[in-house]
Amino acid sequence: MSDLRALLGIEHPIILGPFGGLSSTALTAAVSDAGGLGSFGLYGYDGDRIRATGVELRAATDRPFAVNIWIPTGDEVEPNPQHTIFAQALQPFYEAVGIEVPARPERYNPPLEEQLEAVWEIAPAVLSVVFGVPSASVVEEAHRRGTRLVGTATTVAEAVALAEAGVDAVVATGAEAGGHRVSFLRPAEESLVGTFALVPQVVDAVGVPVIAAGGIADRRGVAAAFALGASGVQVGTAFLATAESAANDAHRDAIRSTAADETVLTRAMSGRLARGARNRVVRAIEASGTIAPFPMQNWLTGRFRTAAGQQNLGALQSLWMGQAAPLVRHDTAAEVFAELAAGVPADRAGRSATSAEIDARIEENRNAWTTPTARG
């Protein structure tokens, strides 16, 4: 099924990027209600919290939505005596937000099995996964329940592995994208392929629809993605800056004021490579040279990051954003969605266009973008 709309049950091939820790019911519902696919990141959620989130999403929208989970890679650490050493290294940041150094927990994250059991109960239209390939049993169970599976790739080899496993679509996420680099076959530092190079190679390599992600924030990026052969787009940063997202004012302000070359790929905040603004806490942790492995570092920084978020202290938060942040113009999800939809080809099926059609679309987009009303 090459038409992403029919595959996912949506009107427009526009997908909200799932934010681990920054998802909101309001934003997910807004994108779904607009005819796209709203997504909600479930990183760190236990079964009960997933079930409660499902209830909230069902109450907020009657349209299809996706939920996202992280697949364990096998190198995750469990709580151990080193927890205290790494926690003490972060003590100045705990003090800065007025909380105690956290004691070692029994676990950092709920097991995948617990999450999946709850996901099957809330029955989303789509389950998207990052950091790996879903097992055969997960693929079989999802399809038995009528849930579409979407995998995420940072290289062609990862896309092929996902397609061979039976996913229904592949997100090809370029190195420009904000948040975590979700590589799983090779280290993330060795998997930094740009969106413009990655998407057409993935399209050529797999037989399922390809969704372009990374560096797309306006109609021009959408038009380019379709010209490269994508069947849809996944957008994060532009939606993260809207009023409906769970980001606070400090984070939204950072998105609107950070240049593309001022974002950085860092392991400082989670122990895994991720793109965001190089703020005070990132610089300090990188300079210290003391970064715990994942998910210990993510859990430890999460204690002061949460408090910093509540206090609107951007200098101590994870200010995730992609390199297209300077293109962000709009304040509401509806405005962002309309801007993105303006770049979708008329057939909306992601089929390859002729050179003349592409030229016409580019000219149309250029003219629209240079008008004051289009720029917002």
Predicted local confidence at residue 375, as pLDDT: 36
**Residue where the block lists tokens 């390599």:** 205
**Six-digit token string for 204:** 């050529």
Q: What is the pLDDT of residue 363?
A: 53
Dig out the tokens for 202 from the structure.
Answer: 């993935």
Q: Token pair 């069947």 is at which residue?
A: 231
In angstroms, rounded to a whole number, what is the distance separating the alpha carbons of residues 320 and 340?
21
Count Cβ atoms below 10 Å from residue 81 Cβ, excluding itself: 7
Q: What is the dihedral of CA 253, 259, 264, 269, to 10 degrees?
A: 0
Amino acid at 37: L
Residue 233: strand, helix, or coil: strand
* DSSP-derived 3-state class of residue 111: coil
**Are 276 and 321 contacting, i.e. CB atoms less than 8 angstroms apart?**
yes
* pLDDT value for 270: 98
Query: What average pLDDT values come out for the chain (376 residues) when binned by 10 residues?
Result: 86 96 96 98 98 98 98 97 96 97 96 98 98 98 98 98 98 98 98 98 98 98 97 98 96 97 97 97 96 98 97 97 97 97 77 43 46 38
Find the length of the chain.
Answer: 376
The continuous run of DSSP H or E covering 126 comes out as strand 126-130
Q: Which helix (H) or strand (E) holds 55?
A: helix 47-60
The DSSP-derived string for 82-104 is HHHHHHHHTHHHHHHHT-PPPPP
pLDDT computed for residue 240 by the predictor: 98
Sign (positive/negative) of CA torsion 158, 164, 167, 172?
Answer: positive
**Strand-pair partners of 264:** 276
What one-character DSSP code corresponds to residue 153? E
User: What is the pLDDT at residue 346?
Assistant: 84
Alpha-carbon distance of 108 to 272, in angstroms, equals 15
Q: Which residues contact 145 (CB under 8 A, 6 or more apart)?
A: 120, 123
> How high is the pLDDT of residue 371?
42
